[in-house]
Amino acid sequence: MNQENLLVGLAGVLAAAAPILFAVLGETLSERAGVINLSMNGTILLTAMSGFAVAYTTDSLLLGFLAGMLIGAVVALIVAFASITLKQSQVAVGFVLALTCRDLAYFLGNPFMGVSGPRLQAAPIPVLSDIPVLGPVFFRQEVITYVSYLAIFLAWLWIYRTRPGLMLQGIGEKPAAAYIRGANVNLMRYVYTVIGGALIGLAGPAYSLGVRAGWMGTISGLDGIGWIALSITIFGGWNPARAAFGAYLFALLQWLGLVLQPVLTQVPSQVLQVAPFPLMILTLLLVNIGNAEWVERTLAAMPESTRKFFAKLLRAMRASPPAALGVPFERD
């Protein structure tokens, strides 16, 4: 492979990761507040279809994206209402919504199957796109990809550097403690779930108006992406920066599966297509290995300096979920 192809390929990885990124960031915000939005897979399919349909009908890409965000927010609102106000199981509600939204997408999307419609065009950033290597990889993308870079940074900044972001961490960790510090826990949970839902709703149009334009129904290649995003949220330890790393890693693995196919002819192509999934599971295992008792024991047996190094490494890698994830909050 020559250098140019490699750069184009890497740029493609960044673009392909954008929908996963939006979904992961949305889910991260929602779960940080303590609400699991399990409807993600269905939401992404539904917003991909409706985002394309709206853009096609109105001939406006912007309206397509807004429609996606609105639908994502509405689905998240249902999750929030059922879990926060009605105190029902988030898992059950989310799962049913995931299935419903998926079927709705396939059913309502029929008239738009295979239609060619508007799509985002690459918008190179002047000056920046001329930097060697970095330019072609990062700055000759579609607008939505730039938005995805920005979203990572903003989400990280919000959670770790702002006052409301600290409170958000607190709400997911120990709502009672956040409450005595003046937080309106349930209102904030609504807000973050809905904002998170709107972000998830951006994932669909990012795909159907960008990565792979159009609506192809069941062969869109999109089904399952929500579940992957869910696992990347965990892999990312509810930290936007780490989650972004996970999303890019997954997109990279998928791309490698494609480019390696002609090289590794003796390996059946199905293996390479499926490989990213078990690899993600493996990474998840690695991340959480520090929780296992045998690891602690192995560590304890190591000489002091090595032990300290690995203990630090494991502590840095380990991510524990917000302690109040999925737990309704009641005053006393």
Partner 1 sequence: MNVELKNIHKHFGKTYANKGINLSIPSGTIQGILGENGAGKSTLMKILSGFIQADPGGEIILNGKPVVIHSPADAIHVGVGMLHQDPLDFPPMRVLDNFLLGRSGGLFPNRGAVAQDFKRLAEQFDFSLDPDNYVDALTVGERQQLEIIRLLWLGARVLILDEPTTGISASQKTKLFATLKKLADQGMTIIFVSHKLEDVESLCHQVAVLRAGELVGTTKPPYNTSRLVEMMFGKIVTLGERQPAKSGEPVLSLRDISLEDVRLKIRNVNLDLRAGEVIGLAGLEGSGQGMFIRACAGLVRPVGGRILLKGRDLTGRSYHTFKREGVNFLPASRLEEGLVPGLSLTDHFVLAEEPNGVFIDRAAGQRLAEERIKAFNIRGTPFSTVESLSGGNQQRAELALLQSPLSLILLEHPTRGLDIESVIYIWSKLKDRCHQDSAAILFISSDLEEILQYSDRVLVFFSGKVSAPIDAATTSVDQLGQLIGGKGWQEKGGSHA
Binding positions for partner 1, rule: CB under 8 A: 161-164, 166-167, 169-170, 173-174, 176-183, 296-297, 299-301, 311, 320, 323, 331-332
- Angle value at C-alpha 64, between 60 and 69, nearest 5 degrees: 145
Judge contact between 105 and 45, C-beta under 8 A: yes
Q: Which is nearer to partner 1, 4 or 163 (CB)?
A: 163
- Shortest Å distance, C-beta 324 to partner 1: 10
Q: Which long-range contacts link 218-221 to residues 24+ away (Cβ below 8 Å)?
A: 218/106, 220/45, 220/48
Angle between helices 185-206 and 40-58 (to 10 degrees): 60
Q: Which is nearer to partner 1, 122 or 308 (CB)?
A: 308
Residue length, the chain?
Answer: 332
Residue 247: what residue type?
A
Angle between helices 276-287 and 225-235 (to 10 degrees): 20
- Shortest Å distance, C-beta 178 to partner 1: 8
Judge contact between 233 and 24, C-beta under 8 A: yes
Judge contact between 165 and 191, C-beta under 8 A: no
- Shortest Å distance, C-beta 310 to partner 1: 10
CB burial string 268-298: b at 16+ within 10 A, e below: eeeebeebbbeebeebeeebbebeeeeeeee
Q: Which is nearer to partner 1, 126 or 182 (CB)?
A: 182
- Shortest Å distance, C-beta 177 to partner 1: 4
Report helix, strand or coil for 232: helix
- Shortest Å distance, C-beta 29 to partner 1: 17
Q: Which is nearer to partner 1, 177 or 258 (CB)?
A: 177
Q: Which is nearer to partner 1, 143 or 295 (CB)?
A: 295
- Shortest Å distance, C-beta 292 to partner 1: 12
Render 202-223 in DSSP notation, one character per residue: HHHHHIIIIIT-SB-GGGSS-T
How far apart are the C-alpha atoms of 51 and 58, rounded to whole Å? Answer: 11
Q: Which is nearer to partner 1, 173 or 223 (CB)?
A: 173
Q: Which is nearer to partner 1, 174 or 212 (CB)?
A: 174
Q: Which is nearer to partner 1, 4 or 332 (CB)?
A: 332
- Shortest Å distance, C-beta 166 to partner 1: 5
- Shortest Å distance, C-beta 189 to partner 1: 16
